Amino acid sequence: MPLLKEAGVELVELKVGQHNQDVQVQFFADLPQGGITMQQCAELNHAIALAIDTEGFLADAYTLEFSSPGLDRPLTTEKDFLRNANRPVQVFLSAPLDGKKEWVGIITGVTADAVTMLTKQKKQMTVPLARIIKAVLVI
């Protein structure tokens, strides 16, 4: 979406549904390095609503919500991990890695197929993305 690209924002998720009689459109976006502000969300919400109204994309009544993905949103893609580099994360694995299926550490690197993290035990470890069942930021 050009508005997001111009603002330097990445779309994380887009949901379109119905709430009562209105079409409900929800944008979840963040900066490539994470940390989108409420002000940026409000400005983009306004710009998108203006574009929808000007271009007539939706003929019916609609509600629009533009927000960050939230701190409790699971990390699932390479971009999710990149956006949260240098932040603490908890990962749950499908099979043990060094004898454990759960690790907590700081994301120190990300490739297309793995996340490198510095664990609480000060151990640098590489976790294959394919083995991660769930990953969340540690608040």
CATH classification at residue 52: 3.30.300.70
pTM of the model: 0.69
Query: Six-digit token pair at 94?
Result: 């499908």
- How many independent structural domains does the chain possess? 2
Core vs surface per residue 48-72: b (16+ CB within 10 A) or e: beeeeeeeeeeeeebebebbbbeee
Judge whether residue 71 has pLDDT over 80. Answer: no
- The whole domain housing 97 covers 78-137
Judge whether residue 119 has pLDDT over 90. Answer: yes
50 and 11 in a common domain: yes
pLDDT number for residue 55 = 86
89 and 60 in a common domain: no
119 and 62 in a common domain: no
Q: Tell which of 25, 46, 67 closes a domain.
A: 67
53 and 97 in a common domain: no
